[in-house]
Amino acid sequence: MKILITTLISAHLLLACSSNKVTNTHNPELVFSNIQSDFIVEDINNYDCSRIDITTLNYIFSTASPVSQRDVHDNFSTVGCSIKGQLTSENENIGFIFDYGGIIYLDDGKIMACGEGCCQNNFKYCSWEKQKTQTKVDEF
Instruction: Please give the residue ranges that form the binding site for another protein (CB under 8 A).
Output: 44-45, 47-48, 68-74, 77-80, 82, 97, 99-101, 103, 105, 108-109, 119, 122-129, 131-133, 135, 137-140
Task: Closer to another protein by CB, 7 or 50: give it.
Answer: 50
Q: How many CB atoms lie within 10 A of CB 114?
A: 25
User: Whole-number minimum distance, CB 133 to another protein, in Å?
Assistant: 8
Q: Any residues with CB less than 8 A from the CB of 117 and at least 6 apart, and which?
A: 25, 63, 64
User: Whole-number minimum distance, CB 4 to another protein, in Å?
Assistant: 31
CA-CA distance, 35 to 77, in Å (whole number)?
A: 24
Q: What is the DSSP letter of 84?
A: E
Q: What is the DSSP letter of 109?
A: S
Counting Cα atoms < 13 Å in the Cβ hemisphere of 45 gives 10
Pairing state between β 81-89 and 42-43: antiparallel
Task: Closer to another protein by CB, 19 or 133: give it.
Answer: 133
User: Whole-number minimum distance, CB 10 to another protein, in Å?
Assistant: 28
Residue 111 CA, chain-centre distance (Å), reads: 10
Task: Closer to another protein by CB, 19 or 135: give it.
Answer: 135
User: Whole-number minimum distance, CB 106 to another protein, in Å?
Assistant: 10
Task: Closer to another protein by CB, 13 or 139: give it.
Answer: 139
